[in-house]
Structure 1
């Protein structure tokens, strides 16, 4: 019965093993190992591509890109290629852990387990096709695509993996909005249809992840906007093993993105657990800078960013631990909120999220509520 299937999806698939979590299984895995069961990715032959399309339940577009695009669009395509190759690796490893019944990744119930494996199998292939779509476009425009790196996935249970997927998918959904805007404003509106279709697909995945974590499937009326700089810095800071990318330093388009220092959310906010509307953050100041030289910028939904001061908890050399307001009730900060440390001197001049990214010292800090 369909009702039973839905119940299994909500309850059985989200039911995790009570066994103690294994050591974090994903640390420093070689990307070629992650992709060993994905036919020829990221350069499949025609037969391998057909098999990937079968698992993805659909095909790459057979439309022909324009002869040329604006250089800004090349930045977007490189960011998409980098993000989607990361996602394909993440979900491939998650699929392997679930399929192999690794400790912490067991799914209770035969039907729920089958549904989970089927869903992850499709997600892996769909993410692979997203990456190939960007890679093929870059090659069409005589650009060398960014190659896969080695990744560190800091999860050791199915619940942790789904929570992490929910967070980075929120960033992807926000960043693709920015990609569509930039393509349109640089005369490449013809490419936005394909990107918009990916936004829909990623949104379907996100609803599935949210149900598994006992949240309503639709997060917000208007999803949080991000920009390419935040997405690429989050990928580079949190997941890419340093020095493991074969050609990332040769990709000129990626060098145009603003480089940020890490911003660690050491204590997040959950309205179900606390009425204290604050978060705790850690970051490093530049040499010679003072704590009062910076504040916290907040990006949530489709609203104009706002900035608030933080309070220093501890300073060790140039490393600060701070507490910052998280005005959940005042601003209804549901869904993804992107935090960034910005110069106090720039406060008042932020008209867009790109303005925030361009001025960011440390970021992004990612907080997901409800």
Structure 2
């Protein structure tokens, strides 16, 4: 896309960045996010399928509403991201020659991205229909900025945030099943979305000549980690409804300054506030294993921020693909779930991709 690529993208840390290009804004030429019935039919044709026509819950719990708001927020972001990526590839914007990556050709990439854009639109419309059908506030799109300038960077970032979504959807399914409401129809519905996002992830990995399936068990996450990561791409103050209305936590930014590799190594991090090896530690979420907490060291102030180091014990059983890092309160603490990590998090998520 047309934006300056920061060092944080190259190290796979999703962080806000200042850019010179105009932000991405809705609506789209096809009427989205408020398409007419005829426009919806055209979107469905390009997406390869229709909106679900089965019943949805008449009543939603507070927790379910929060999860649906998060999922809709993500779908609007993804639609914007892939719409601009598709436009850049279609219009031969410098740096977006998809056909330069064997064995791809431009037509295949355009067809694939066209399907993705329209599928993401239906995801967003479907979630908002569930909210509206139960009498609750729908999510409206914001303005967005994307820190990539080439096709390769855009696909790498697409893989990263799709991996985050793949860790978020099972959590949403578990919440729908356990919160005491009547959201059971949503479990299967979002299982189908989870599978669709998995098919997308395989494509993004294939484009990078990676094994299409990263690991036997993918990394889980926390709704608040996803909520924080999405906000890195939202233009401040551009959302029609205040983001604090979504009942999730926004963490401080955790920058991963070292390019991680598939081996035991030391990583450099930075945060905006003070940290201490006596009061903080780094926790990693990788695969479906228990969280791994490691001490931090060599804390030093640098240019108004604080840098520090922590070991990255990849060879102790980490999965390929996404690992999530978080700076938490406490040193020497043991965590037994992603939820317990999120409750203790001060800065995060640091998004690490290793293959």
Specify if TM > 0.5: yes
Deviation at 1:31, TM superposition (A): 3.6
Query: What are the residue-to-residue correspondences of 1:314-353 with 2, within 5 Å?
Result: 314-316=300-302, 319-344=305-330, 347-348=333-334, 350-353=335-338
Indicate which of 296, 300, 303 corresponds to 2:286: 300
Does the Cα contact within 8 Å between 1:22 and 1:103 map onto a contact in 2? no
Once the two structures are overlaid, the 10-residue window that deviates more, 320-329 or 360-369, is 320-329
Shift of 1:290: 3.7
- 187-196 vs 208-217, which deviates more? 187-196
TM norm structure 2:
0.90
The higher relative CO (CA closer than 8 Å, separation ≥ 6) is in 2
CA 23–239 in structure 1, closer or farther in 2 if over 3 Å, else same: closer
CA distance in 2, matches of 1:136, 1:369: 37
**Bigger mean CA deviation after superposition, 299-308 or 95-104:** 299-308
Residue among 233, 247, 260 paired with 1:269: 260
> Which of 217, 233, 258 does residue 228 from structure 2 map onto?
233
Do 2:264 and 2:313's aligned partners in 1 also have CA atoms closer than 8 Å? no
Question: C-alpha separation between the residues in 2 aligned to 1:107 and 1:319?
Answer: 38
Residue equivalent to 2:271: 283
Is 2:150 the partner of 1:149?
no
Of 184, 209, 217, the residue aligned with 1:214 is 209
SS in structure 2 opposite 1:133?
A: helix
Residue 177, structure 1, aligned to residue 162, structure 2:
no
- 1:257 aligns with 248
With 166-175 and 108-117 compared, the bigger mean Cα shift is at 108-117
Name the CA distance, whole Å, in 1 between partners of 2:148 and 2:303.
31
Once the 2 structures are TM-superposed, how far is the Cα of residue 353 of structure 1 from its aligned partner?
Answer: 0.2
Give yes or no for contact 2:321–2:353 (8 Å, CA) kept in 1. yes
SS of the aligned residue for 1:368 comes to: strand
Instruction: Note if contact 2:141-2:239 (Cα within 8 Å) is conserved in structure 1.
Output: yes
**CA distance in 2: counterparts of 1:135 and 1:209, whole angstroms:** 27
1:210/1:217 contact within 8 Å kept: yes
Q: Runs (4+) of structure 1 moved beyond 4 Å?
A: 25-28
Q: 1:23 to 1:223 in 2, by over 3 A?
A: closer
Aligned: 1:32 with 2:25: yes
Residue in structure 2 matching 1:366, options 331, 338, 351: 351
Once the two structures are superposed, the pairs formed by residues 7-26 of structure 1 within 5 Å of their partners are: 24=4
Match of 1:9 in 2: none
Residue by residue, what CA displacement relative to the aligned partner does 1:115-172 show, whole Å, maximum 9, x if unpaired?
Answer: 1100000000001111111111111121122211111100000000000000000000
- Structure 1: distance between partners of 2:135 and 2:146: 32
Deviation track 1:254-296 (CA, whole Å, cap 9, x = no partner) reads: 1x2122111111113123xxx561221111335xx64431000
Does the 8 A contact of 2:291 with 2:337 survive in 1? yes
Do the aligned partners of 2:297 and 2:308 also contact (CA within 8 Å) in 1? yes
Q: Normalized per residue, which structure has more helix?
A: 1
Match of 2:9 in 1: none
Q: Rate the CA distance shift 1:86–1:28 in 2: closer, same or farther, 3 A.
A: farther
Q: Can you give the 5+ residue segments of structure 1 that lack an aligned partner in the other structure?
A: 1-20
Comparing 154-163 with 58-67, greater Cα deviation is found at 58-67
Indicate how the Cα distance of structure 1 residues 351 and 28 shifts in structure 2: closer, same or farther if over 3 A, else same: farther
Structure 2 unmatched runs, 5+: 6-18
Question: Which residue is 2:161 aligned to?
Answer: 168
- Which residue is 2:84 aligned to? 93
Q: Equivalents in 2 of 1:142, 1:27: separation in Å?
A: 40
Once the two structures are TM-superposed, the CA of residue 299 in structure 1 deviates from its matched residue by 0.5
Contact residue 284 and residue 319 of structure 1 kept, 8 A:
yes
> In structure 2, do the counterparts of structure 1 residues 127 and 29 end up closer, same or farther at CA, with 3 Å as the change threshold?
farther
Q: What per-residue deviation string (whole Å, max 9, x for no partner) do you get for residues 151-201 of structure 1?
A: 110000000000000000000000001101111111322211110000000
The aligned residue for residue 245 of structure 1 is: 239
State TM-score, norm by structure 1. 0.86
Greater CA deviation, 165-174 or 330-339? 330-339
CA–CA distance in 1 between the matches of 2:248 and 2:332? 19
Q: What does residue 205 of structure 1 align with?
A: 200
Q: For the aligned residues, what is the CA RMSD?
A: 2.2
Write out per-residue CA displacement over residues 200-255 of structure 1, whole angstroms, 9 at most, x where no aligned residue: 0000010010010010101111111011110001111x211111111134x63x1x
Q: CA deviation at 1:319?
A: 2.4
Cα 1:296–1:115 change in 2 (3 A) is same
Q: What SS is found at the alignment partner of 2:218?
A: coil
